[in-house]
Homo-oligomer: A and B are copies of this chain.
Amino acid sequence: MITIYTIFSAMRFSHQRETIRKIVNSTNSHPTADWVFSRAKRSIPKISLGTVYRNLKRLEKTGDLRTIYDGSIARYDWNTKPHDHLKCKECGDLMDVHLLDEGIRSDVKKKYKFAVDDVKMTIIGTCQKHK
């Protein structure tokens, strides 16, 4: 008797992944993997950091979130629509803003013969809190 199973791996449900997705979706703070990890431990005490990293990567691949780099460390953003960031060098906060319109993409194409996929902009400075 022969049983045939699917050849290509399907993504299975996991409580860990769902928890991680909800955590990232619930904040505007662009959290680090470690922050997501400590939050996830509240509901899944035995979750491991590796699981957090693996699923954050997975969720990026499926388009549920995007990774942004703050200096050398990765932060995760539920907002996958094009937008920019204000980075406060006093408190480290990273805030969403929308500065670049669609026009700049076609500008770049014309000027530099470069196939544009994404435009990343971060404004470094000091936020209102510090004055």
Contacts and interface: CB of A to CB of B under 8 A. Distances in A.
A131 to B, nearest CB: 8
Number of this chain's copies in the assembly equals: 2
Main secondary structure of the interface of A (DSSP, over half): strand
Contact of A124 (B88, B112, B116): B116
Contacts of A74: 72
Q: Which of A88, A104, A108, A121 has the most CB of B within 10 A?
A: A121
Interface string A41-71: 0000000000000000000000000000101
A86 interface: yes
Interface of A: 69, 71-74, 86, 88-89, 97, 99, 104, 107-108, 111-128
